[in-house]
């Protein structure tokens, strides 16, 4: 309905100006004085060299009356539109009819791959990994709701030194896991990493294991792949608890055995990628980096493939992205990995599988820490040098800063994550929520509510801060029921549903003389799609968190000043019930974009 209202404003202005309505539409935004404002007079004043205030007044005086607008006035260079009661009732009607589709965008006919969180398969998720997963899953949800075809991808590095150390420990030290496998492997890795630094015989053993898994097609490689898969399954128990799901997992071992050679041949076609003849990089495949972003580097040349034919991380990543954009002839085959709680199967790459329609994307987003900025720039630069300017512009590094607790810092090798994993965080959240529950619920209901509210507290806290800002997670803020938190937003939804449950009367978007508190809520609900559009364009869920808080606060003010069921006029009761129902719909839709579920009671 908001789009239709904006269209009508544009048509009205176009009727008195020799300008297409589509060009005028971009000048319309929520107003500080009126409900909506157009700055078209300001834009035209530059072309016509006339006073913008005078021009706005002249344009306003020529406008015809319209059913959607109570009045139109100029103020300085702005033309302010005030919505009519009819428009407010139509906005409510639109929300009530569209329900869970309200705010969704049109089909963009574009595919986006978003890759996250890519945690090494030898440890549990700590809260840094969790920020990645929370950010990636929310951005994926926003893009999908905005009309994109989204493919959620996880990159599993099952060939790295860390994995080799864990596999060596499993094969030679202890092969009897106890408890959740990712925790057990992570704790064992801490001990093996320490031994690796102290014992040269272990160093040699780990190197042999690393060589075996990189070569593949041997018993050690098979054992490593099996252990990695089992660890990821354990990690995904954590993921599912936080509402994080995937479509496909790509294992690095399959990259090396399936698309790597094809990718290296492709890189040889790039004039800026050369095999060095002499010096320390002799025999290596190297990309020559030129540009302002590389000028400060001591050596801007980047090795992609070593002289022995093994790839560095960036080389593998470039080849991986060539595959994502459909530039390679070779492709993966897939088998089911696991059936997820959302009802969908996650698939994984496997030489034993069958072809499927993954990749061939229009855009690619990589959710990776800010410290990976340089390698991500290298991928973009190589794509440009290969002649893929469009693909380079559609390759986005969604970077994020670190997250911590006031009392802890984290290191996988040193084991400082122990006691501070994502699982530990959720367990503590549930305990704190259960302590806050004052109403009598069954133990089953208490646990269900505690989990929903605990997840909301953590996810909302992580998403409320822009990704480029460091987070220090604090429980007193995350579980604040008075405002600025996920549980506060959930409670606003529950309160709205509780009001609706107290009556048999149906919400009806009848046209009444709406008061200021009613208008404020309806206008806030009307601009939901604007926030979605911005969050989708900028990959910034924090805009949605702020919107949710504004809606919750607006509904609280409305409820305090305009009693819903106690109103004397029957038509007013219907309209206020419609406002309450519309608010519950928008809150639920908005929280769904943050991958936060709304409880029906709390």
Distance CA 60, CA 13 (A): 8
* pLDDT beneath 70: ranges in the chain: 291-299, 406-419
Do 124 and 242 fall into the same domain? yes
DSSP string of 163-211?
Answer: HHHHHHHHHHT-----SSHHHHHHHHHHHHHHHHHH-HHHHHHHHHHHH
Taking each helix axis from N to C terminus, what angle separates 443-464 and 422-436, rounded to the nearest 10 degrees? 120
Q: What is the DSSP letter of 222?
A: H
> Could you tell me which residues are beta bridge partners of residue 354?
334
What does the alpha-carbon distance between residue 115 and residue 478 come to, in Å, rounded to a whole number? 27
Q: CB of 81 within 8 A of CB of 64?
A: no
The answer on 43 and 119 residing in a single domain is: no
Residue 52: CATH number of its domain: 3.30.1360.70
The predicted structure's pLDDT at residue 302? 84
Same-domain status, 118 and 73 = no
pTM, full prediction: 0.92
Cα distance between residue 316 and residue 330, in whole Å = 15
- Does 208 share its domain with 73? no
Task: Specify if 484 maps to a domain.
Answer: yes
Residue 512 tokens read as 């009444």
Q: Which residues are CB-contacts of 543 (< 8 A; sequence separation ≥ 6)?
A: 531, 534, 535
**Same domain, residue pair 521 and 458:** yes
Whether 289 is covered by a domain: the verdict is no
Same domain, 226 and 349: yes
Question: Is residue 483 situated within a structural domain?
Answer: yes
Task: Please count the structural domains in the chain.
Answer: 3
* Burial status of residue 438 (CB atoms within 10 A of its CB: 0-12, 13-18, 19 or more): exposed
CATH number of the CATH domain containing 545: 1.10.730.10
Q: Examine residue 286 and state whether it is found in any structural domain, yes or no.
A: no
Question: Taking a C-beta distance cutoff of 8 angstroms, is the pair 567, 505 a contact?
Answer: no
Task: Give the pairing type, strands 28-30 and 36-38.
Answer: antiparallel
Are 79 and 115 part of one and the same domain? no
Any domain includes 490: yes
C-alpha R_g of the chain: 28
Do residue 168 and residue 229 come from a single domain? yes
Q: Does 412 map to a domain?
A: no
Range of the domain at 240: 111-252+334-361
- What pLDDT is attached to residue 346? 98
Q: What is the pLDDT of residues 242-294, one digit of tens each?
A: 999 999 999 999 999 999 999 998 888 888 888 989 888 899 999 887 765 66
Residue 191, domain CATH: 3.40.50.620
Gap between the Cα atoms of 103 and 397, Å rounded: 27
pLDDT at residue number 407: 61
Other Cβ atoms less than 10 A from the Cβ of 446: the count is 16
Residues 119 and 56 in one domain: no
What six digits make up the tokens of 405?
């607790």
Neighbours of 298 (CB within 10 A): 4
Instruction: Give a yes or no: residue 308 inside a domain.
Output: no
Q: Do residue 61 and residue 129 come from a single domain?
A: no
Distance CA 33, CA 6 (A): 17
DSSP 372: G
For the record, the structure tokens of 346 come out as: 């996650």
Task: Examine the domain organization and report whether 51 and 167 are in the same domain.
Answer: no
Determine the 3-state secondary structure of 21 from DSSP. helix
pLDDT value, residue 202: 85
Q: Please answer whether residues 405 and 420 qualify as being in contact, where contact means their C-beta atoms are separated by less than 8 angstroms.
A: yes
Other residues' Cβ atoms within 10 Å of the Cβ of residue 303? 18
Tell me whether residue 121 is in a domain: yes
Do 207 and 122 share a domain, yes or no?
yes
């Amino acid at each position: 309905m908001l789009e239709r209202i904006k269209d009508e404003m544009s048509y009205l202005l176009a009727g008195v100006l020799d300008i297409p309505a589509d060009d005028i539409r971009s000048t319309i935004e929520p107003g500080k004085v009126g409900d909506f404002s157009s700055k078209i007079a300001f834009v035209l004043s530059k072309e016509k060299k006339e006073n913008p205030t005078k021009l706005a007044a002249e344009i306003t005086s020529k406008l015809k009356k319209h059913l959607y607008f109570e009045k139109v006035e100029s103020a300085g260079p702005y033309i302010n539109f005030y919505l009519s009661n009819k428009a407010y009732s139509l906005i409510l009607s639109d929300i009530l009819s569209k329900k869970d589709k309200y705010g969704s965008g049109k089909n963009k006919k574009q595919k986006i791959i978003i890759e996250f969180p890519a945690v090494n398969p030898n440890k549990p998720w700590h809260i840094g990994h969790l920020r990645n997963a929370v950010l990636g899953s929310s951005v994926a949800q926003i893009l999908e709701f905005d009309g994109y075809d989204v493919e959620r991808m996880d990159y599993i590095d099952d060939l790295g030194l860390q994995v080799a150390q864990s596999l060596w420990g499993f094969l030679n030290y202890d092969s009897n896991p106890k408890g959740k496998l990712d925790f057990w492997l992570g704790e064992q890795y801490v001990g093996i990493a320490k031994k690796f630094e102290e014992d040269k015989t272990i160093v040699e053993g780990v190197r042999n294991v690393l060589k075996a898994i990189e070569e593949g097609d041997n018993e050690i490689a098979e054992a490593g792949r099996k252990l990695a898969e089992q660890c990821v399954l354990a990690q995904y128990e954590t993921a599912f608890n936080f509402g994080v799901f995937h479509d496909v997992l790509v294992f690095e071992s399959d990259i090396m055995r399936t698309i790597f050679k094809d990718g290296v041949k492709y890189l040889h076609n790039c004039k800026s990628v050369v095999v060095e003849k002499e010096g320390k990089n002799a025999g290596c495949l190297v990309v020559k980096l030129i540009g302002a972003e590389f000028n400060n580097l001591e050596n801007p040349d980047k090795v992609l493939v070593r002289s022995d034919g093994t790839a560095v991380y960036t080389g593998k990543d470039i080849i991986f992205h060539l595959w994502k954009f459909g530039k390679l002839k070779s492709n993966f085959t897939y088998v089911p990995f696991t059936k997820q709680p959302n009802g969908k199967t996650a698939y994984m790459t496997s030489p034993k599988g069958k072809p499927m329609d993954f990749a061939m994307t229009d855009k690619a987003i990589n959710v990776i820490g800010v410290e990976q900025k340089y390698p991500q720039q290298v991928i973009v630069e190589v794509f440009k040098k290969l002649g893929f300017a469009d693909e380079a512009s559609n390759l986005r590094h969604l970077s994020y800063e670190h997250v911590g607790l006031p009392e802890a810092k984290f290191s996988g090798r040193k084991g400082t994550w122990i006691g501070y994993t994502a699982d530990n965080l959720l367990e503590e959240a549930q305990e704190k929520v259960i302590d806050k529950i004052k109403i009598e619920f069954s133990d089953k209901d208490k646990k269900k509510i505690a989990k929903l509210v605990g997840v909301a507290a953590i996810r909302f806290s992580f998403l409320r801060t822009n990704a480029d800002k460091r987070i220090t997670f604090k429980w007193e803020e995350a579980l604040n029921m008075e405002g600025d938190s996920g549980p506060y937003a959930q409670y606003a939804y529950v309160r709205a549903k509780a009001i609706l449950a107290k009556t048999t009367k149906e919400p009806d978007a009848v046209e009444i003389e709406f008061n200021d508190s009613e208008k404020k809520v309806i206008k806030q609900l009307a601009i939901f799609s604007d926030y979605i559009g911005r969050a989708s364009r900028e990959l910034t869920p924090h805009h949605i968190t702020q919107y949710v808080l504004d809606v919750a606060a607006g509904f609280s003010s409305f409820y305090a000043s305009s009693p819903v069921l106690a109103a004397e006029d029957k038509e007013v009761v219907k309209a206020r019930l419609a406002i309450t129902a519309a608010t519950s719909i928008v809150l639920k839709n908005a929280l769904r974009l943050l991958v936060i579920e709304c409880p029906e009671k709390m």
